[in-house]
Structure 1
Amino acid sequence: MHEMWKQLLVESCLKGTLRYPSKYDFSPQTMRHFTGQITQIFPCNTQDLNIDTYSLDTLTVEKITPLQNTSKQIIFYLHGGGFCLGSLKTHRAWLCEMARTTGLTVMSLAYPLTPETPFPELNEAVYNAYKALLASGIQADDVILAGDDAGANLALALSLRLVRQKNTVLPRGLMLLSPFIDLTLTSNSIRYNQKHDALLSIDFLKKAIHYYLQNCDFDPSNPRVSPLFDDLAGLPPLLIQVGSKSMLMDDAKRLKDMAVNAEVDVSYKLYTGMWHNFFMFNAWFDEGKMALDDICYFIQHRLNKTN
């Protein structure tokens, strides 16, 4: 099938099966089941990979290790899903390809979801899991912290908390993919990409924010909630990826500009014609494969350039 027709078909299917239903008042539990089933379309190739699970603090981690892995570096990954969706299962295919392409172990954290565990308890659980990771013997300088969508928010917020602690060794690098980091929804692309993004809807984003901030006194503009508004100085080398059709495109662009102003080492890539979290469709689209290659380049040439 021609690439253009394939893309139009996939976008049409996504709009009908994920974006359109998000306008309705389905419970998070129903949406979790639905997205868990939908993401089974992603081909999950576990060849040459070892997958096992264990606990960090009170949370489960899925460890995906290439059989030929010889590096001590690991990618500690926080999945997306608007804080209320997503799981080890939904992201397994994507993270298997990340492990295979980079040659590194990927550790995917099953953090507690909202509305059952809202802010700030959710963030505290992620922080405690990270501390448990380091307590297990893994060195912070061998950790590449990564996340997509809301997971990118949690990863950035965690990194900034570590910067503020001053006496804590930071992760070696930070990778934020299609980041959801402005919960005030003031990015212009929220409006002009509403019809173009095959995955996200304004209704879903508003529900996600409501679940995340329920029963707390924090405003969406608080830097702990929207880390885009925090002081970014001191962050480790940063990779940002986003699609040009994503409703969150300007979250990523603004983050890049603010990180440059804060003198952070930033690698930024905009993927033309791609929607939110397009990289999870790497089995079918060259842009997804390119995103994986760019992640690999960032790790090999930006993070390890002094080795």
Structure 2
Amino acid sequence: MSLQSRFICWWLRRRFLPVTRRPIDVARTRVNTQKRVWLPPVPAGWQLREQYRDVDVPLRGEWLVREGGAPRTILYLHGGGYYFCSPRTHRAITYGLATRADADVFSLDYRLAPEHPFPAALDDALAAYRRLLADGVRADSLVIAGDSAGGGLALATLVALRDAGGALPAGALLYSPWTDLAVTGASIRENDGRDPMFCGDVFARVAAMYLGDANQTRATDPYVSPLYADYRGLPPLYMLAGSTETLLDDTRRVAQRARAAGVQVECNIARGLPHIWPIYAPFMPEARRSLDDSARFVQRVTTVDTTARAQKAASSSHAPQSPQSPQSSESSISS
């Protein structure tokens, strides 16, 4: 592990982990997250287009679009336990993916629990994906991506699209995905105390907010917890998780079941790195390397779409530019 990684783990253990042992205060968590988030500058040669009005639904969120249009697209679903965070909080990931993969990235501002429990987030993700296709983005030039709860949501979206007989994207990026809201993974217990970010029992409390008034049996619904889905026919998956994460088994079990169903899976288990470490780019060298690997996956599985690039270039030339913000085998990553 790099010195930067060790420092971030130390900071998380001191500042973030203790909060997960307390009762969840939704409003306070949201306010504190917005206060603390670091916003990277918009990369040179790219435009940030913020679309946060109600009329922007189903593409409510923000685009990072390369000037002239990029030949591929990423639909990004942010993490945050389904109850906090936003496209803004995850710009370090979305900006890093866009520039490395040469992909226009749309980051969805899906509805959050507890105000909007399941299936609101899934409905929003499906509607956004279908609108992208309706707007001319080709499925084989598109990758869906997400982290933590957003990673589970991305996988659930794939399953729902497959079940509906819709065109599937070229692949999916899943960073430390939360795929089992029934919270049955052995790592929930075994890594409790090793994970610098989460205690083991927080996930049952968060899951209850997303499930809403539903019976607990819904926790194993494949659209809630895609761990329990049939993976046959899904596109290639790129997954990563840290070896000390309480959610580690949410990644390992999906990788095992997907491979058994004939899905191409790249699953990288990084020694000692924290939950969704790509969000610490550009400060953490491991985060930069993981984004590099992710970009290579995106480029490998997608087909270049020159038609969509021309269409997006034409539309972006008429859109106002947002001001720049302030400044297939399981492997082990170690440093």
Task: Give the letter aligned to residue 196 of structure 1.
Answer: R
Q: Which moved more, 1:109-118 or 1:181-190?
A: 181-190
Equivalent residues of 1:238, 1:265 under 8 A apart: yes
TM-score, length-normalised on structure 2?
Answer: 0.83
Q: Note closer, same or farther for the CA distance 1:194–1:44 as it changes in structure 2 (3 Å cut).
A: farther
| CA displacement at 1:220 relative to structure 2 | 1.3
Pick the aligned partner of 1:175 from 173, 176, 199.
Answer: 173
Q: Work out whether residues 219 and 225 of structure 2, in 8 Å CA contact, stay in contact via their aligned partners in 1.
A: yes
> Which residue number in structure 2 is paired with residue 133 of structure 1?
132
Distance 2:94 2:274 in 1: 19
Identity across aligned pairs (percent)?
Answer: 31
Matched residue, 1:46: 43
How far off is 1:56 after superposition?
5.1
Contact kept, 8 Å, 1:45 with 1:93, in 2: the verdict is no
* CA deviations over 1:200-240 (Å, ceiling 9, x no partner): 22343122101001112353122222111110001011111
Residue 197 of structure 1 aligns to which amino acid in structure 2? D
Of residues 80-89 and 92-101 in structure 1, the stretch that sits farther from structure 2 once superposed is 92-101
Q: Aligned runs of 1:284-303 on 2, under 5 Å?
A: 284-303=283-302
The one-letter code sitting in structure 1 at the alignment partner of 2:231 is L
Partner of 2:254: 255
> How far has the Cα of 1:244 moved from its partner?
1.3
For residues 187 and 51 of structure 1, the distance between their equivalents in structure 2, rounded to whole angstroms, comes to 39
**Which residue of structure 1 lines up, in the alignment, with residue 237 of structure 2?**
238
Give the Cα–Cα distance (whole angstroms) in 2 for the partners of residues 177 and 266 of structure 1.
13
Q: What amino acid sits opposite 2:242 in the alignment?
A: G
> Does residue 1:121 correspond to 2:120, yes or no?
yes
Distance in 2 between the 1:56 and 1:102 partners?
26
Residue correspondence of structure 1 range 179-258 to structure 2 within 5 A: 179-217=177-215, 218-258=217-257
AA aligned opposite 1:118: P
Alpha-carbon distance in structure 2 between the residues aligned to 1:285 and 1:3: 8
Cross-structure match for 2:15: 17
3-state SS of 1:202 partner = coil
Match of 1:86 in 2: 85
State whether residues 237 and 303 of structure 1, in contact with CA within 8 Å, keep that contact through their aligned partners in structure 2: no
CA shift, 1:25, in A, is 2.2
- Mapped partners of 1:243, 1:224: distance in 2: 24
Once the two structures are TM-superposed, the CA of residue 53 in structure 1 deviates from its matched residue by: 2.3
Distance 2:139 2:37 in 1: 32
Opposite residue 99 of structure 1, the aligned amino acid is A
Instruction: Tell me if structure 2 keeps the 8 A contact 1:76–1:146.
Output: yes
Kept after mapping to 1: 8 A contact 2:92/2:281: no
For 1:149 and 1:74, the matched residues in 2 are separated by 21
Normalising by structure 1, we get a TM-score of 0.91
| Contact 1:232 1:262 (C-alpha < 8 Å) held by counterparts | yes
Once the two structures are superposed, what CA deviation does each residue of 1:181-202 show, in whole Å capped at 9, x if it has no partner? Answer: 0112111111122222222223
Greater shift, 134-143 or 79-88, is seen at 134-143
Deviates more, 1:6-15 or 1:185-194: 6-15
Distance 1:181 1:277, change over 3 A: same
Contact preservation (8 Å) 1:43, 1:283: no
Are the equivalent residues in 1 in contact too, given 2:242–2:271 (CA < 8 A)?
yes
1:66 aligns with 2:66: yes
More deviation, 128-137/92-101: 128-137
Distance 1:27 1:43, change over 3 A: same
Q: Describe the SS at the equivalent of 2:16.
A: helix
Moved more, 194-203 or 251-260: 194-203
Contact persistence 2:81–2:149 (CA under 8 A): yes
Measured after TM superposition, the shift of residue 298 of structure 1 is: 0.9
AA aligned to 1:17 is: R
1:265, 1:171 → 2: CA distance? Answer: 14
Corresponding residue for residue 315 of structure 2: none
| Residue range with higher mean Cα deviation, 47-56 or 236-245 | 47-56
2-structure distance, mates of 1:164, 1:222? 14
Higher relative contact order (CA 8 A, sep 6+): 2
Number of residue pairs matched by the alignment: 300
Match of 2:43, as an amino acid? Answer: T
Deviates more, 1:122-131 or 1:206-215: 122-131
Q: How far apart, in 1, do the equivalents of 2:40 and 2:13 lie?
A: 20
Query: Which runs of 5 or more structure 1 residues have no equivalent in the other structure?
Result: none
